[in-house]
């Protein structure tokens, strides 16, 4: 009984978020901080759960991990989301207006249809960006996220800032949508992703793990052998991986790249420059041996 109730935790949180946004007063919907407040609250709830019901002892939180996660949570909510708004969302919204693009069909759809539309559009873009990162030199921006050596609630926010920016890009600003439906979808995506990185010992119902990404599927994506990371790309709806043939069943307890070398924040920030630094060193070496 207790186990069944606990397995319903993830779906229950999605229902709660949906109820919250579908009944939120206009003043809350118009306040841009409400969506951030819901994100932070749900993140704190999952972090609290991690303290009491660990999935793996080796993923237990310790001081350095906590401070790193805190740094990235602040970076994301205080900087990256603002930069995303200024450099991507606002120009897209202006282009939409200038070109006269309208989608009244979307605006007049039922609330839940609008939520599902945002989830699909945002995640479709994220899926392909993430897949590109694992199959091209853009990997250098994403690799720091795969150097994490344990999974925890806020780890979805840990990575090189350029990657965090790239993976958050979407074309949702081109659609006419209710603000509450958009915020509801963003909070749903956040909660699914938080649980998919969390060290919480619970197993979601089968129907949930068929549609949404769970810790089982995402931990497999964080596998140690690089080639084994090329699966389960979807941040939140794993259904997209099922559709495009990249879904793999299983779970990984040991995570990390390069023999599980943990990176410092500075190393995470500098990581995409590694190929350039290696090229400069190689050229200097060739020049020195030619001169010698
Ligand atoms: Zn990845
Ligand atoms: Zn991840």
SS3 200: strand
Residue 171, class by beta-carbon neighbours within 10 Å (0-12 exposed, 13-18 middle, 19+ buried)? middle
Q: Which residue has the higher pLDDT, 289 or 48?
A: 48
> Is the distance from CB of 165 to CB of 157 less than 8 angstroms?
no
Residues 154 and 59 sit within 8 Å (Cβ to Cβ): no
Tell me, in angstroms, the distance from the centre of ligand 1 to residue 68's CA: 19
Counting ligands in written order, which one lies closest to the CA of residue 217? 2
Quick one: pLDDT at residue 211? Answer: 97
* Ligand 2 centroid distance, CA of 155 (Å): 7
Contact 143, 226 (CB under 8 A): no
Distance 84 CA to ligand 2 centre (A): 20
Mean pLDDT, the chain, integer: 94
Element (H, E) at 67: helix 63-75
How far apart are the CA of 98 and the centre of ligand 2, in A? 37
Cα of 189 to ligand 1 centre, how many Å? Answer: 16
Per-residue pLDDT, averaged over 164-173, amounts to 94
CA of 225 to the centre of ligand 2 (A): 15
pLDDT 10s digits, 187-196:
999 999 999 9
Share of the chain above pLDDT 70, in %: 98
Q: What percent of the chain has pLDDT over 90?
A: 89
Q: CA 42, 160, 118 angle in degrees (round to 5)?
A: 50
Task: Please report which confidence band the pLDDT of residue 1 belongs to, taking 50, 70 and 90 as the band edges.
Answer: low
Span from the CA of 18 to the centroid of ligand 2 (angstroms): 24
**Least-confidence region, from 44-58, 129-143, 252-266, 274-288:** 274-288
């Amino acid at each position: 009984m207790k186990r069944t109730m606990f397995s319903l935790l993830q779906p229950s949180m999605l229902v709660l978020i949906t109820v919250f946004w579908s009944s939120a007063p206009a003043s809350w919907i118009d306040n841009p901080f409400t969506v951030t407040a819901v994100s932070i609250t749900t993140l704190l709830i999952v972090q609290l759960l991690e303290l009491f019901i660990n999935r793996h002892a080796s993923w237990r939180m310790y001081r350095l991990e906590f401070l790193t996660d805190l740094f990235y949570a602040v970076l994301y909510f205080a900087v990256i989301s603002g930069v995303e708004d200024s450099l991507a969302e606002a120009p897209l919204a202006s282009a939409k207006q200038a070109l006269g693009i309208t989608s009244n069909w979307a605006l007049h759809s039922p609330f839940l249809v609008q939520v599902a539309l945002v989830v699909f559009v945002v995640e479709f873009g994220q899926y392909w960006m993430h897949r590109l990162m694992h199959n091209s030199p853009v990997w250098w921006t994403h690799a720091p996220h795969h150097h994490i050596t344990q999974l925890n609630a806020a780890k979805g926010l840990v990575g090189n800032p350029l990657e965090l920016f790239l993976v958050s890009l979407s074309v949702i600003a081109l659609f006419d949508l209710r603000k509450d439906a958009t915020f509801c979808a963003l909070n749903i995506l956040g909660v699914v992703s938080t649980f998919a990185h969390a060290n919480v010992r619970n197993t979601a119902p089968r129907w949930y793990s068929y549609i949404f990404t769970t810790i089982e599927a995402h931990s497999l994506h964080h596998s140690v052998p690089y080639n084994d990371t090329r699966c389960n790309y979807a941040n939140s709806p794993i259904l997209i991986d099922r559709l495009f043939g990249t879904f793999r069943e299983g779970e990984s307890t040991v995570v990390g790249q390069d023999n599980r070398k943990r990176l410092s924040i500075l190393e995470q920030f500098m990581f995409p420059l590694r190929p350039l630094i290696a090229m400069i060193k190689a050229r200097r070496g060739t020049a020195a041996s030619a001169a010698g």
